[in-house]
Amino acid sequence: MTIEGCAKRIFGQIQCFLAPLAFVVLWQCLATSGWINPQILPSPIKVFAKWWEYLRPLEPYDGGNYLTWLVSGELLKDAYASLLRVVGGFIIGAVLALPLGLFMGANTVVYNVLNPLLQILRPIPPIAYIPLAILWFGLGNPPAFFLISIGAFFPILMNTITGVRHVDPIYLRVARNLGADRVTTFTRVIMPAAMPYILTGMRIGVGTAFIVVIVAEMIAVNNGLGYRILEAREYMWSDKIIAGMFTIGLLGLGIDSAMSRLNNYLLRWRSSIET
């Protein structure tokens, strides 16, 4: 790689931090100027201090297993609980949505029969199911998994249907002319062509799952980032509220980056075709 190429790459990476850095500097200036009540909006320095306190182990090291002690902080336990619910609910929603979406996209009769019902259910936000979720499953993880799976289900389902129904007919005619049967056409033509839509739906589904898990934890469980934010609100701990929100953002960024890398890996064949 040339020096010019290295410089462009480094500058491109630096650009990603310009907007967040400018936001933090502006926030700090407003906080130190006295224009904002620190009880309502504390400075970034105080938020980071609270975040570090939230992250550190609650008890001093007593000579036992160092790794167990290191990850015994309240923040890591809450983040693990929230991630477990997000992953579990997302998997449930994806396992239900993908086969149904592929079937509806490939079969016009099934699509015409089920689509009206789905269009009625799809606009209902997952939060509206909270009373029923508590009534059906009680408190704890089951209602949270139920709500998160609903949040992830519809983005994956609708994108899968759209991807299958928008496969270029030329691909299908070529496959038939080459003697491909229905199974081969579905697995070797329709699935790869619909994969960009499916992966987009999965990225949207993960984002929706993160939104729903915070709401679910504020109502149905007694741990997790959402629960801790609600607890901090009751005691007017604004710095801990923002620290929890910051943690949610970091987790979402990490998962979205992982999904983006997975998307690029699974669709690497497209770049080879384009080049």
Q: Which two structure tokens, joined as six digits, stand for 161? A: 């249907």
Q: Which two structure tokens, joined as six digits, stand for 132? A: 């029923």
Q: Which two structure tokens, joined as six digits, stand for 46? A: 């105080």
pTM above 0.85, yes or no: no
- For residue 86, give the nearest of 145, 39, 43, 162 by alpha carbon: 145
Residue with tokens 């139920």: 146
Higher pLDDT, 97 or 262: 97
pLDDT band at residue 257 under the 50/70/90 scheme: confident
Model confidence pLDDT, tens digit, residues 222-231: 888 888 888 8
- What mean pLDDT is predicted for residues 38-42? 82
The alpha helices in 180-224, defined as continuous H runs, are: 182-185, 191-217
Residue 236 DSSP label: T
pLDDT band at residue 95 under the 50/70/90 scheme: very high
On the question of pLDDT at 116 being above 70, the answer is: yes
User: Do residues 160 and 97 make contact, with C-beta atoms less than 8 angstroms apart?
Assistant: yes
Model confidence pLDDT, tens digit, residues 119-175: 999 999 988 998 898 889 888 888 889 999 999 999 999 999 998 888 888 877 888
Higher pLDDT, 171 or 239: 239
How many beta carbons lie within 10 A of that of residue 230, not counting itself?
17
